[in-house]
């Protein structure tokens, strides 16, 4: 080292310093929300301005399907089954009153990376967990455990508030349970899907602004802004 001119050492030092400062500034950049696992099961506690429900959510991207089994407090048990081809079945399994409506929506189920492009808002302590918080297109606020990266909570701009009670990565509901009842196929009349209104807008897409919706339908965490109902052929 004795023979190395000090100018060279200075240049080396400058390179090293700039290298490490680059590294540290990159490390300080905003975190991104974790992609959803391709298959998981989650129990969700939902509060929509005081109306409470429990949702048994089976997200199954691998098989192109998503199931929300919704128990309203002291009310109906509703099955909301979505296929990635755009078909949604909403039904009860009540022997006395067979109800089913099916609809076609232009977007399929949420993509695992549907949170890409969300804006980082910093950290907050929510539901007892230190969370990273993101907002996506003034539409959803998403809270993820800063340590485990599990979703903890999300809130739609309608005020529908979801608390994640369990999060079982890799859990898959058996195929037989995904079969909509026969009366879904007998009566082919299309009713409006509750999570539907006028225009399609997939929250997972690269939209930058929310649509102008007067009435917002966010009954279930389908995350579809609103849906365009097409005749069931």
Ligand X SMILES: *[C@@H]1O[C@H](CO)[C@@H](O)[C@H](O)[C@H]1NC(C)=O
Footprint on this chain of ligand X (rule: CB under 6 A): 47, 49-50, 52, 83, 85, 87, 206, 208
Work out how close the CB of 184 gets to ligand X at its nearest, in angstroms, rounded to a whole number: 8
Work out how close the CB of 47 gets to ligand X at its nearest, in angstroms, rounded to a whole number: 4
Work out how close the CB of 182 gets to ligand X at its nearest, in angstroms, rounded to a whole number: 12
- Give 36 or 83: the residue with its C-beta nearer to ligand X: 83
The token pair that represents 62 in the structure block: 């691998």
Work out how close the CB of 24 gets to ligand X at its nearest, in angstroms, rounded to a whole number: 30
- Give 47 or 124: the residue with its C-beta nearer to ligand X: 47
3-state secondary structure labels for all residues of the chain: CCCCCHHHHHHHHHHHHHHHHHHHHHHCCCCCCCCCCCEEEEEEEEEECCEEEEEEEEEECCCCEEEEEEEECCCCEEEEEEECCCEEEEECCCCCCCCEEEEECCCCCCCCCCCCCCEEEEEEEECCEEEEEEEECCCEEEEEECCCCCEEEEEECCCEEEEEEEEEECCCCCHHHHCCCCHHHHCCCECCCCCCCCCCCECCCCCCCCCCCCCCCCCCCCCECCCCCCCCC
Work out how close the CB of 197 gets to ligand X at its nearest, in angstroms, rounded to a whole number: 20
Cβ atoms within 10 Å of 188's Cβ, excluding its own: 10
The token pair that represents 130 in the structure block: 């230190």
- Give 17 or 165: the residue with its C-beta nearer to ligand X: 165
- Give 5 or 231: the residue with its C-beta nearer to ligand X: 231
- Give 87 or 101: the residue with its C-beta nearer to ligand X: 87
Distance (Å, whole) CA 61 – CA 41: 12
Work out how close the CB of 130 gets to ligand X at its nearest, in angstroms, rounded to a whole number: 20
Distance (Å, whole) CA 123 – CA 130: 7
- Give 207 or 213: the residue with its C-beta nearer to ligand X: 207
Work out how close the CB of 116 gets to ligand X at its nearest, in angstroms, rounded to a whole number: 12
- Give 67 or 223: the residue with its C-beta nearer to ligand X: 67
């Amino acid at each position: 080292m004795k023979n190395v001119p000090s100018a060279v050492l200075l240049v080396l030092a400058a390179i090293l310093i700039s290298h490490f400062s680059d590294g540290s500034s990159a490390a300080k950049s905003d975190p991104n929300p974790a992609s959803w696992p391709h298959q998981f099961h989650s129990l969700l506690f939902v509060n929509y301005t005081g109306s409470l429900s429990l949702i048994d959510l089976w997200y199954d991207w691998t098989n192109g399907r998503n199931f929300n089994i919704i128990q309203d407090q002291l009310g109906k048990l509703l099955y909301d089954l979505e296929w990635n081809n755009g078909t949604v079945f909403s039904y009860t399994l009540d022997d006395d009153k067979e109800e089913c409506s099916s609809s076609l929506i232009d977007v399929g189920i949420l993509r695992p990376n549907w949170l890409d492009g969300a804006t980082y808002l910093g950290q907050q302590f929510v539901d007892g967990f230190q969370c990273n918080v993101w907002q996506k297109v003034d539409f959803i606020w998403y809270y993820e455990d800063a340590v485990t990266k599990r979703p903890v909570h999300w809130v739609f701009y309608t005020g529908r508030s979801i608390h994640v009670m369990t999060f079982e990565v890799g859990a898959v509901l058996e195929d037989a349970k995904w079969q909509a009842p026969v009366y879904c196929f007998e009566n082919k009349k299309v009713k409006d899907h509750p999570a539907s209104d006028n225009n399609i807008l997939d929250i997972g897409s690269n939209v930058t602004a929310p649509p102008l919706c007067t009435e917002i339908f966010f009954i279930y965490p389908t995350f579809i802004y609103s849906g365009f109902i097409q005749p069931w052929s």
